[in-house]
């Protein structure tokens, strides 16, 4: 209760109960332990919703075959994912999983067409969170390093979804322009750039990681 009264979300952190094993390569990198939440690496997946549509109007029910509530509104989605979530900074300034809280659009529909502006953007807000899917293992180095999309700074040439062509005001769900993290922030671009540099130390660690995986398979 003392932690709640002090405004803390939890009374303990991962490392209050679990000791980082120094024999694990990732645990020997000081920045991992100092700048990241443990669950940034150890969370296996998280449900994510990109583009939430709120539709209003009796015609919409027939057009889209959606179930409407008593207020005459229906909810739909552009994209749902259940994989490793993007990463950003939480309120503690540590690297943490983030996901859209609401990338929200509204359309009123009547007589088979939009009433007013179609897909009016109401919010584009992300939130740092704890996925509750912690596992012992962790992804390979390049799941984060040299992976701009993981930090919501996807390059235009890497885009799969052309949101502008669909009438949206965002270029990409994974482009931070026009979006914000309400309880933290997106990873600063200079840090993302630095993480993408394949320094000699990174290459050495990457080879060591792969070698440990190969050795583990060969000994079985």
Structure tokens given for 157: 């040439």
Q: How far is CA 108 from the centre of its chain?
A: 29
80 beta partners: 49
Condensed to tens digits (0 to 9), the pLDDT of residues 16-40 reads 888 888 888 899 999 999 999 999 9
Phi/psi for 32 (5° steps) reads -60, -45
Task: Give the percent of the chain with pLDDT over 90.
Answer: 58
- Quickly state the pLDDT bin for 219 (edges 50, 70, 90): low
Look at residues 90, 101, 100 and name the one whose alpha carbon lies nearest to residue 37: 90
Task: Specify the pLDDT at position 61.
Answer: 59
Phi/psi for 157 (5° steps) reads -70, -10
- How many angstroms separate the CA atoms of 25 and 189, rounded? 26
Higher-pLDDT residue of 197 and 99 is 99
- pLDDT of residue 158 exceeding 80, the answer is yes
Q: What's the chain's average pLDDT?
A: 88
**Helix%, strand%, coil% for the chain, nearest 5:** 30, 30, 40
pTM of the model: 0.86
- How many angstroms separate the CA atoms of 219 and 121, rounded? 55
| DSSP structure string for 81-113 | EEEPPPEEE-TTSSEEEEEEEEEEEEEEEETTE
Phi/psi for 206 (5° steps) reads -65, -45
Look at residues 46, 103, 45, 107 and name the one whose alpha carbon lies nearest to residue 73: 107
Condensed to tens digits (0 to 9), the pLDDT of residues 45-86 reads 999 999 999 888 766 556 566 666 656 778 889 999 999 999
- How many angstroms separate the CA atoms of 22 and 16, rounded? 16
Task: Specify the pLDDT at position 67.
Answer: 61
87 beta partners: 97
- How many angstroms separate the CA atoms of 98 and 84, rounded? 10
Task: Give the percent of the chain with pLDDT over 70.
Answer: 87
- pLDDT of residue 186 exceeding 90, the answer is yes
């Amino acid at each position: 209760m003392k932690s709640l009264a002090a405004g803390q979300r939890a009374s303990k952190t991962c490392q209050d109960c679990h000791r980082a094993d120094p024999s694990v390569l990732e645990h020997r990198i000081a920045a991992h332990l100092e700048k990241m939440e443990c669950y940034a690496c150890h969370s296996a997946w998280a449900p994510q919703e990109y583009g939430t549509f709120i539709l209003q109007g009796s015609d919409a029910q027939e057009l889209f075959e959606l179930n409407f509530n008593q207020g005459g509104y229906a909810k739909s989605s552009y994209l749902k994912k259940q994989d490793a979530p993007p990463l950003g900074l939480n309120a503690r300034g540590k690297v943490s999983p983030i996901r859209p809280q609401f990338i929200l659009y509204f359309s009123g529909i009547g007589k088979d067409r939009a009433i007013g502006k179609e897909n009016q953007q109401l919010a584009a807000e992300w939130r740092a969170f704890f996925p509750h899917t912690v596992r012992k293992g962790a992804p390979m180095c390049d799941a984060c390093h040299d992976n701009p999309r993981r930090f919501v700074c996807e390059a235009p040439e890497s885009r799969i979804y052309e949101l502008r062509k669909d009438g949206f005001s965002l270029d990409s769900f994974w482009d931070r322009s026009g979006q914000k993290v309400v309880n933290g922030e997106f990873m600063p671009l200079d840090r993302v750039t630095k993480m993408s540099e394949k320094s000699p130390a990174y290459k050495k660690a990457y080879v060591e990681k792969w070698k440990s995986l190969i050795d583990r398979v060969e000994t079985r």
